């Protein structure tokens, strides 16, 4: 504000978009002249205008000019019907009225004749005829005749012969190129790689930002040290691995680890997905591989990171699509490029996949991907560190215990834990709190495991009672089964596709499972079906998912784990022999039909045997089952403490 009290307008530091002078106090606003947008639309409008006027000229105006034979034209002159004649290089045009007072002007390209309103026009066929008698005949009949320039036709011929076809094919070319790969205006860019190039020093990710994969970080320390101090390795004659393959389940941090390597080494980083190499044009993938490695050599030392390597690196052995498809050519070029650069050049390839079983053996041999680093799901300590990293920017309650959250999230990946932290923060905001509480994390975990809570779904009293006994049966069998995971929560509030759920969380990480543990899981799954039978005397469809899981466990015990009586210590299924395009390994039976019959009968026997054991557990504790079901009908949800309080009269195993 100046001394007179007038508030000065704010100064815009940005460069004005429009051309011409700028008016600071709201003067006349000039149009925004875009370099391509306006011109592009102007061309379209001009083409539409020219085509419209030309079609109007040729479709409508030519209809009033009937074409007659030359002999008939002479007969009409002799009969006195035609009063004046226009002569061009292609036509004789006759008019039934007298000649105009002034000389006719040169014909416009968008007018077919100089005819007056109400008169008839006759035109000869377009054949140049040199007939001297026609001039004598017109002189005898006192008919006015004159020549007319046809320059307009030449312009139209140029437009229709050159301009319009060129414009049409240009528009079609632009449309096809844009639809087939978004390649812009340069068709030669189809062979250029689409890697995201991050310059040296622009990557801020470091090893401190990656937790839960300490062993994998140790394996990659050598790669970082080589990129920083290559002389130390070359002096002793050592060579750094050309390629490092990061293997692990989805969401475990493989891409984040690759960025951390580039950030620690402070070198350029080329990131590209395996799917970006393959296009519908044959040879494009191989061209992009060549271009990627050419650019990487120019910027060495650097790191090339190929995410989802299995998109182009699938095995060629079982390729049912043929031996010369686009994916195979891309893989062959990648193999050649990885063999073609020196290990001392400072060019290192990192790749990530969650399906190493489908990769081509030539890709995994020493000299290409020399080292495979397993990036597995984090353990208890790793989960706690991951939660701390993701909750740095989240306002947590002082009573918040991340160790407790890490204990009940066994088997979760780093991406799952990051999602839980974010969901807990959103739940706190939804509740109107300024800090995230422990119950927000509990709700976020339940939402991730069981699905979204559906409080508006109203169950009938009979369905609600049956659901309560179903979940009470699961929880009661779990409480009286050895080595079973403790029950954290029981609820009959619908979540996802389930009408209720029993939440079990392991207190520690387990890497091996015994035969008794597997049978115990079958017992817990059958507890819900058995409780329904005890209370209603019949079965319902609510146990369909439980039966599927129990049957799968029994089948794996017999076919995969060698836990059957007849085929003890024998695996009856071979994996990886199916089509590599399948997301899961295809099971192929390599045994007789009689063995298949035995497998089916053994599955039924195991499930029936465990059903009898589960029935004995619930029948001997019917009073506890009724007590837990009644509490669920009253409160809808029971936590671990409330459930254990209902079990106090009984002696737990």
Mean pLDDT over the full length of the chain: 77
- Mean predicted confidence (pLDDT) in 637-648: 87
pLDDT higher than 80, residue 362: yes
> For residue 7, what is the enclosing H or E element?
none
In Å, what is the CA distance from 527 to each residue of 360, 475, 479, 550, 551?
Answer: 45, 8, 11, 11, 14
Output the pLDDT for position 517.
92
Output the pLDDT for position 602.
93
Same-domain check for residues 582 and 477:
yes
**Helix runs in 60-122, H state only:** 70-78
DSSP reduced 3-state for 392: coil
- Please confirm, yes or no, whether 471 is among the known catalytic residues: yes
Output the pLDDT for position 239.
76
pLDDT higher than 70, residue 452: yes
In the structure, what pLDDT confidence band is assigned to residue 223 with cuts at 50, 70 and 90?
Answer: confident
Same-domain check for residues 390 and 523:
no
Structure tokens at 343: 């290990």
| Distance, CA of 492 to CA of 637 (rounded, Å) | 7
pLDDT higher than 80, residue 523: yes
With a CB cutoff of 8 Å and minimum separation 6, the contacts of 439 are none
With a CB cutoff of 8 Å and minimum separation 6, the contacts of 170 are none
Is 14 within the bounds of a domain?
A: no
In Å, what is the CA distance from 94 to each residue of 161, 196, 362?
Answer: 29, 72, 85
Output the pLDDT for position 180.
52
DSSP reduced 3-state for 84: strand
> For residue 432, what is the enclosing H or E element?
none
Same-domain check for residues 356 and 336:
yes
Same-domain check for residues 370 and 395:
no
Whether the CB-CB separation of 377 and 413 falls below 8 Å is answered with: yes
Is 7 within the bounds of a domain?
A: no
Is 87 within the bounds of a domain?
A: yes
> For residue 639, what is the enclosing H or E element?
strand 637-639
Give DSSP secondary structure letters for 437-491.
-HHHHHHHHHHHHH--B-TTPPPPHHHHHHHHHHHHHHHHHHHTSTTPPPEEEEE
pLDDT higher than 50, residue 569: yes
In the structure, what pLDDT confidence band is assigned to residue 218 with cuts at 50, 70 and 90?
Answer: confident
Is 641 within the bounds of a domain?
A: yes
Read off φ and ψ for residue 574, nearest 5 degrees. Answer: -105, 135
pLDDT higher than 70, residue 647: yes
- Mean predicted confidence (pLDDT) in 572-596: 59
Is 416 within the bounds of a domain?
A: yes
CATH code where residue 103 lies: 3.30.720.210
| Distance, CA of 380 to CA of 608 (rounded, Å) | 37
| Distance, CA of 45 to CA of 31 (rounded, Å) | 19
Q: What is the number of structural domains in the chain?
A: 4
| Distance, CA of 148 to CA of 442 (rounded, Å) | 93
Same-domain check for residues 473 and 514:
yes
Is 395 within the bounds of a domain?
A: yes
Which tens digit of pLDDT belongs to each residue from 96-151? 876 554 445 444 443 444 555 556 777 676 655 667 777 888 888 888 877 776 55
pLDDT higher than 50, residue 187: no
497 vs 389: which has the higher pLDDT? 389
In the structure, what pLDDT confidence band is assigned to residue 153 with cuts at 50, 70 and 90?
Answer: low
Q: Which of 96-105, 179-188, 522-531 has the highest mean pLDDT?
A: 522-531
Same-domain check for residues 295 and 337:
yes
Sheet holding 637-639, edge to edge: 501-504, 487-491, 637-639
Read off φ and ψ for residue 26, nearest 5 degrees. Answer: 75, 35
Same-domain check for residues 365 and 408:
no
pLDDT higher than 70, residue 609: yes
What percentage of the chain carries pLDDT values higher than 90? Answer: 20
Give the burial class of 386: count Cβ atoms within 10 A of its Cβ; 0-12 exposed, 13-18 middle, 19 or more buried: buried
Is 11 within the bounds of a domain?
A: no
Q: Which of 73-77, 440-444, 633-637 has the lowest mean pLDDT?
A: 73-77
644 vs 17: which has the higher pLDDT? 644
Is 129 within the bounds of a domain?
A: yes
Same-domain check for residues 466 and 399:
no
Give DSSP secondary structure letters for 326-376.
HHHHHHHHHHHHHHHS-TTSSEEEEEEES-GGGB-HHHHSTTTEEEEEE--
In the structure, what pLDDT confidence band is assigned to residue 422 with cuts at 50, 70 and 90?
Answer: very high
Q: Which of 90-94, 248-252, 539-543 has the lowest mean pLDDT?
A: 90-94
Q: Which of 463, 499, 472, 519 is nearest to 618 (CA)?
A: 472
CATH code where residue 544 lies: 1.20.58.760
Q: Which of 131-135, 180-184, 245-249, 472-476 has the lowest mean pLDDT?
A: 180-184
Structure tokens at 152: 């307009």
Same-domain check for residues 226 and 365:
yes
In Å, what is the CA distance from 535 to each residue of 462, 463, 491, 607?
Answer: 11, 12, 19, 21
Which residues, listed in sequence order, are joined to residue 198 by a DSSP beta bridge? 269
Output the pLDDT for position 162.
61
CATH code where residue 432 lies: 1.10.8.60
pLDDT higher than 80, residue 205: yes
User: Among residues 324, 349, 374, which one ends one of the domains?
Assistant: 374
Same-domain check for residues 250 and 294:
yes
Same-domain check for residues 156 and 54:
yes
User: Among residues 149, 179, 209, which one ends one of the domains?
Assistant: 179
325 vs 482: which has the higher pLDDT? 482
CATH code where residue 291 lies: 3.40.50.300
Read off φ and ψ for residue 412, nearest 5 degrees. Answer: -80, 145
pLDDT higher than 50, residue 10: no
User: Among residues 347, 374, 401, which one ends one of the domains?
Assistant: 374
Q: Which residue is catalytic, options 219, 326, 471, 532? A: 471
345 vs 448: which has the higher pLDDT? 448
Output the pLDDT for position 173.
65
- Residues 509, 515, 518, 523: is their CA dihedral positive or negative? negative
Same-domain check for residues 244 and 335:
yes
Q: Which of 75-84, 416-425, 566-575 has the lowest mean pLDDT?
A: 566-575
pLDDT higher than 80, residue 644: yes
Output the pLDDT for position 40.
44
What percentage of the chain carries pLDDT values higher than 70? Answer: 71
Host domain of residue 159: 35-179
pLDDT higher than 90, residue 296: no
| Distance, CA of 240 to CA of 78 (rounded, Å) | 103
Output the pLDDT for position 137.
83
Residue with tokens 């620690």: 264
Residue with tokens 């020549």: 147
Q: Which of 29-33, 246-250, 340-344, 570-574 has the lowest mean pLDDT?
A: 29-33
Output the pLDDT for position 605.
94
502 vs 586: which has the higher pLDDT? 502
């Amino acid at each position: 504000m100046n001394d007179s009290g007038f508030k000065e307008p704010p100064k815009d530091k940005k460069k004005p978009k429009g051309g011409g002078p700028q008016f600071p106090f709201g003067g006349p606003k000039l149009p925004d002249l875009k370099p391509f947008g306006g011109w592009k639309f102007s061309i379209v409008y001009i083409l539409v205008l020219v085509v419209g006027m030309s079609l109007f000229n040729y479709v409508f105006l030519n209809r009033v000019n009937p074409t007659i034979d030359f002999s008939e034209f002479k007969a009409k002159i002799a009969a006195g019907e035609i009063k004046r004649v226009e002569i061009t290089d292609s036509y004789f045009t006759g008019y039934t009225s007298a000649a105009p007072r002034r000389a006719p002007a040169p014909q416009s390209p968008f007018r077919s004749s100089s005819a007056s309103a109400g008169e008839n026009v006759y035109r000869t066929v377009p054949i140049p005829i040199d007939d001297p008698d026609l001039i004598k005949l017109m002189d005898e009949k006192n008919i006015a005749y004159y020549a007319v320039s046809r320059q307009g036709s030449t312009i139209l011929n140029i437009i229709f012969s050159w301009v319009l076809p060129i414009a049409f094919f240009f528009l079609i070319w632009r449309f096809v190129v844009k639809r087939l790969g978004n390649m812009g205006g340069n068709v030669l860019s189809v062979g250029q790689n689409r890697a995201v190039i991050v310059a040296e020093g622009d990557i801020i990710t470091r090893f401190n930002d990656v937790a839960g994969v300490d062993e994998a970080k140790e394996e990659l320390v050598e790669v970082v040290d080589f990129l920083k101090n290559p002389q130390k390795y070359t002096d002793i004659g050592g060579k750094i691995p050309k390629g490092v393959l990061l293997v692990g389940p989805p969401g475990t941090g493989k891409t984040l680890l690759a960025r951390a390597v580039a950030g620690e080494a402070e070198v350029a980083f080329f990131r590209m997905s395996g799917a970006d190499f393959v296009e519908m044009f044959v040879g494009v993938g191989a061209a992009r591989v060549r271009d990627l490695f050419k650019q990487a050599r120019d910027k060495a030392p650097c790191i090339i990171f190929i995410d989802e390597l299995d998109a182009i690196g699938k095995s060629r052995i079982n390729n049912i699509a043929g031996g010369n498809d686009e994916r195979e050519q891309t893989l062959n070029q990648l193999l050649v490029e990885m063999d073609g650069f020196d290990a001392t050049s400072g060019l290192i390839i990192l790749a990530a996949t969650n399906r190493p079983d489908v990769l081509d053996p030539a890709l995994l041999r020493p000299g290409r991907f020399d080292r495979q680093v397993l990036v597995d799901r984090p353990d208890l300590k790793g989960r706690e560190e991951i939660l701390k990293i993701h909750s740095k920017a989240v306002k947590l309650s002082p009573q918040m215990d991340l160790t407790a959250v890490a204990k009940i999230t066994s088997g979760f990946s780093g991406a799952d834990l990051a999602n839980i932290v974010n969901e807990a923060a959103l739940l706190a905001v939804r509740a109107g709190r300024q800090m995230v509480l422990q119950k927000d994390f509990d709700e976020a975990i339940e939402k991730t495991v069981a699905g979204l809570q559906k409080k508006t779904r109203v169950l009938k009293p009979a369905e609600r009672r049956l659901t309560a006994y179903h979940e009470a049966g699961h929880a009661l069998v779990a409480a009286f089964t050895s080595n079973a995971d403790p029950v954290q929560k029981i609820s009959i509030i619908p979540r996802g596709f389930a009408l209720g759920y029993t939440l079990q969380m392991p207190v520690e990480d387990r890497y091996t499972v015994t035969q008794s543990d597997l049978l115990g899981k079958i017992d817990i799954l059958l507890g819900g079906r058995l409780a329904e039978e005890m209370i209603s005397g019949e079965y319902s469809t609510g146990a369909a998912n439980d039966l599927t899981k129990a049957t799968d466990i029994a089948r794996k015990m017999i076919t995969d784990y060698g836990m059957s009586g007849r085929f003890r210590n024998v695996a009856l299924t071979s994996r990886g022999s199916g089509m590599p395009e399948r997301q899961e390994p295809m099971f192929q039976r390599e045994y007789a039909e009689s063995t298949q019959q035995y497998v089916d009968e053994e599955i039924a026997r195991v499930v029936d045997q465990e059903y009898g054991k589960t029935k004995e557990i619930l029948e001997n504790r019917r009073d506890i089952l009724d007590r837990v079901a009644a509490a669920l009908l009253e409160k809808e949800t029971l936590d671990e403490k409330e459930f254990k309080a209902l079990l106090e009269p009984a002696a737990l195993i």
